[in-house]
Amino acid sequence: MKDSTPDNRNRRFRLWVKTSLILVYCVILAGALVRMTGSGMGCPDWPKCFGYYIPPTDVEQLTWRPGKTFEEGQVIIKDQALWVASRDIKSTQQYVASDWRAYTRHDYAIFNPVHTWIEYLNRLCGALAGIAVFVMAVLSLRDARRKPSITVLSWLSVFLMGFQAWLGATVVYSVLNPVKITTHMIVALLIVAILIYIRHLASAEKKQKITDGKLKWLAWLTLTLGMIQLVAGTQLRQYVDERVRLFGDHEMDQVLIDPGFSFYFHRSFSIAVLLASFFLYRRSRQINMGTNSARTVLVLLVLEAATGIAMAYLDFPFGTQAAHLAIATILFGYLFQLLLQTGKRQL
């Protein structure tokens, strides 16, 4: 059958790897949007949102009124607290306290429809990405004997997607604990790296690597320095989050006054990353690498530095935090891909 030739199977598998990668990036970008708009608590529960699969659009839906029906698990806001219906209810003239149990995971009880729907979009992207990764893993079974590493890595991604979903829930329950946000981001990057690697393995038979010791060394150096910078960035973000909690998000000019080590390290270390990337770019030109990856990495790094400088010295203009995060993750993907393109010749 035409459909089941190894070539066709491989093509279809690679399509699903690509789809998964794009959707995982959508989740990361939607996550950046959540951060930019402060929508992290848009849904106070997980995986449902105020107890609904499709979240409310109006506070009216979350308000107790006589003669209204509520299904078990649905949430209302009363006396600035969340209450969960303990069974299916048709409310009478009087509010019956025993019909409701207090929501105890946290005490954040604000409904903002825009925040709710942005957070919901983030979860929807997550669900779609989860489905795509699962389909990819199922398809990988068909060539499991010939390419066991691809199958193992595909199922590892399924596991990590599940883990990431669970971690997302703990982020909400902890009311956006900064350390949990950082772990969430690092796992997202791990998933990106595995998907890029699977894509590379699935197309490795066709591609010839660029053999240049110096290029490979510079790619390693840039990736290593980039990773250090990324981790330093997450530490700085934790610091910024704590300061924002202290001053409120209307006083962004106060956040980086006398900022301490995490800021100065992150700021100055950019120079090392930029230099490594510049030499990588120069080498790629010298040997006529044939792809634009090194140039893209350099351009992304310059943009990253520009958004960083804007945050630090122009008091966090709108969108710069999200852009800084989004560029960092795209940059990481390009760097990892570039590293895989370099190496010993395989004929």
- Please tell me whether residue 44 binds ligand HEM under the rule CB under 6 A: no
* Smallest separation (angstroms) from ligand HEM to the CB of 255: 8
Angle between helices 113-140 and 6-37 (to 10 degrees): 160
Residue 335 in contact with ligand HEM, rule: CB under 6 A: no
Least distance (Å) between residue 316 CB and ligand HEM: 7
Long-range pairs for 91-96: beta carbons < 8 A, 24 or more residues apart: 91/64, 91/65, 91/66, 91/67, 92/66, 92/67, 93/66, 94/66, 95/64
324 binds ligand HEM (CB under 6 A): yes
Binding span for ligand HEM by CB under 6 A among 8-16, 38-46, 132-140, 324-332: 324-332
321 touches ligand HEM by CB under 6 A: yes
Residue type, 89: I
Binding string, 234-273, against ligand HEM, x = CB under 6 A?
x-xx--x-------------------------xx--x--x
With contacts defined by CB under 6 A, name the span among 77-85, 111-119, 230-238, 245-253 that binds ligand HEM: 230-238
Of the pair 198, 330, the CB lying nearest ligand HEM is at: 330
Binding segment (CB under 6 A) for ligand HEM, from list 38-46, 54-62, 188-196, 301-309: 301-309
Check residue 280 for interaction with ligand HEM (CB under 6 A). no
* Nearer to ligand HEM among residue 10 and residue 329 (C-beta): 329
Confirm or reject binding of residue 326 to ligand HEM (CB under 6 A). no
Of 163-202, which residues contact ligand HEM (CB under 6 A)?
A: 185
Binding flag, residue 20, ligand HEM (CB under 6 A): no
342 within 8 A of 215, measured Cβ to Cβ: yes
Instruction: Pick the closer one to ligand HEM by CB: 111 or 263.
Output: 263
In the complex with ligand HEM, which residue's Cβ is closer, 237 or 283? 237
* Among the residue ranges 67-75, 83-91, 93-101, 223-231, the one whose residues contact ligand HEM (CB under 6 A): 223-231
- Comparing CB distances to ligand HEM, the nearer of 115 and 266 is 266
Q: Which residues of the chain form contacts with ligand HEM (CB under 6 A)?
A: 185, 226, 229-230, 233-234, 236-237, 240, 266-267, 270, 273, 301, 304-305, 308-309, 311-312, 321, 324-325, 328
